[in-house]
Chain A
Amino acid sequence: MSMLIFEKSRRASNKMNIPPAEVEPVDVTKTIGEEYLRNGELPLPDVNEVEAVRHYTALSKRAYGVDDGFYPLGSCTMKYNPKIDEWAARLPGLAGLHPYQPLETVQGALQIMYETGQWLCEITGMDEFSLQPAAGAHGEMTGVMMIKAYHKKRGDEGRNTVLVPDSAHGTNPATANVVGYKVVEVKSDERGLVDLQDLESKLGPHIAGLMLTNPNTLGLFEENILEISRLVHESGGLLYYDGANLNAIMGMARPGDMGFDIVHVNLHKTFGTPHGGGGPGSGPVGVKQHLTELLPVPRVIPQGDQFILDYNYPDSIGKVKQFYGNFGVIVKAYTYIRALGGEGLKEASQQAVLNANYVKHHLSDEYYIPFDRLCKHEFVATAKHQMDSNKVSALDIAKSLLDYGYHPPTIYFPLIVREALMIEPPETESRERLDDFVAAMKEIAKAARENPELVKGAPHHTVVRRLDEVKAARTPVVRWEESQDA
């Protein structure tokens, strides 16, 4: 069993050599004052460097990254993280910059930010980008705040509701709520697309806007997008694009050309920056001309042959984060875009879509595919057959995949499909990988028929078996304590 670092703590003999300050020693009871000082020793773990390195090395071996294998997580775009991007972000001339340094000492950094913003405009068909938001959800919040500011500026105070499709990612309605909007769901029709009639019936003078992903979370392109855009705009609302699925359409279509007023992109999805075990990401937000005045400040703009940080936008919504954005992540996306170029980005999307359709086609005889037609970069399969025959669920199938050495697809999302398995095989996966994955899924389907108990008991070969999540939520233990039993 893996020991916690605190359980390895001993009073260590070799420590970080911090050179003593070559100045007079200080009596903190005088310079700071007793009442401000900490009582007692810091309870942090005390281990030597060798043990520390071994500890974290051991932890890394109980993790699974894209560098270990296939990660068909729908809506996450787990593509390969190019190492040249990692190298670039670690350059001392980029990693060692303080955000408040004089502007003439950071021109290279400002150029990277400016150009990235320009290219994101070109890729998405928007007019101006802010790179400030730290994640997709943060970008959504920024975008929806701009919707709010836009209507307020026009004196239209009655728009208190945002529409989201019933297939939307949880961050969409959460964002709307966080910005102070009510949320109403728009139904999907029997083809899995936004139900135009339902949309029309729900639009009105109280609707601030509609948040959409395109292709949607079922992996289907919203064919009626121009009509949707017309309906929303005619009713006075704005159209927001959740860029999570941008990997499906780069170089083929652009949200700006579909009528979207605001978009956010996820650099850690479409632009190959690593997920880091949950973050950091970056969620730049782009707008059309009529909204540019509202973008967060500062903006990076060219002035002569220099770049400056311009704060002079009185209608800006302000700042959504300290400093300028997750610059270290932006550098990686910059490098990625320069590596691939326009042709490379288009090819990435084309191959992603090919991969998804290929896997869908080969899985369809064993797994029920509710919308079995041309999909984009991801599709939804279900465990319907397996549930109906032997009560084997999407969860059981996912856990069985762990035994085959795969990270499972997204399960139980979108909410409108029962026992959903959302599968996204990014363009960096080879046909051999896909064939192997399909073979594993077919074996699991077979096991579900012939030996369901085996599937329901999975995983069998991982370092821990299924964990008691009910216990973790009923009696949460969220930190180690000295008195705790192991």
Chain B
Amino acid sequence: MEFLLQPWAWYVSGPLIALVMFTMFYFGKRLGISSNLESLCAIGGAGKFNNFFKFDWRKNKWNLAFMIGLIIGGFLSSNYLSNTKSVAISEQTKIELNDLGFKNAGDTYMPTEIFTAKNLNLKTVSILLIAGFLVGFGARYAGGCTSGHAIVGLSMLELPSLISVIGFFIGGLTMTWFIYPIIFG
């Protein structure tokens, strides 16, 4: 049981992720999380404003079930399957983040400076909202997110997925190296 409660090594987690992808193929589906966001828009009545969202979201119930599973999985993992709340990030990362104003980096999964309700203010809410907007807009523009492109698309050796993943990293590196110091510095 002890090995379950510890953080899992990359060489355990990565192959397990591939196994989930395989299982979904075996179930007749292609793993991909971000298309659920379209279903959620459709359920929320976005079809009233845009004909695209008039598609029958009920045919995506399997994926919504998977998404609800993610929520349950997060609940089970954080409440019953963890013996620590901290994340063993590198010392260099801790030092850098401290300079950017993030104290106690790695003590929790998420920085309390942004991700706790009591620290929400105009700046943090704007950051979270804009970040979400870019993820949603970009994922559907590119036709997929980390699961659909980086895991499944690359496993299928799809060139558009490789280009998308290169795009993910150009964007992510630019944000982390050049824009973070402006926002948080």
Answer yes or no: are A and B bound together in one complex: no
